[in-house]
Structure 1
């Protein structure tokens, strides 16, 4: 019982961490895309 709950807790923590990392990466990519579009508009 105890080991199972620990495994679940570890899994949830790991999943949350992965989710946060992927969100951070997506946000960074989105920022780069926005900056690139802005630069392209300014160059015209």
Structure 2
């Protein structure tokens, strides 16, 4: 039961890989920008 479910998950993630990457990149960029803004505020 475990392996087929795992394979289905892999197929699902492969199909949605680009979408997931876009969402993750947006989230990472958002947090990096917040971090940079916080550092700029602390330096000024």
TM-score range, shorter chain: 0.5 to 0.7
- TM-score, normalised relative to structure 2: 0.64
Distance 1:29 1:8 in 2: 31
Q: Corresponding residue for 1:40?
A: none
- TM-score, normalised relative to structure 1: 0.64
Does residue 27 of structure 2 align to residue 18 of structure 1?
yes
Q: Which runs of 4+ in 1 moved over 4 A?
A: none
Output aligned runs, 1:1-44, within 5 Å: 4-5=14-15, 7-35=16-44
User: Matched residue pairs, number?
Assistant: 32
Computing the radius of gyration from Cα coordinates, the structure with the larger value is 1
Gaps of 5+ in 1: 36-44
How far does residue 22 in structure 1 lie from its aligned partner after superposition? 0.5
Gaps of 5+ in 2: 1-10
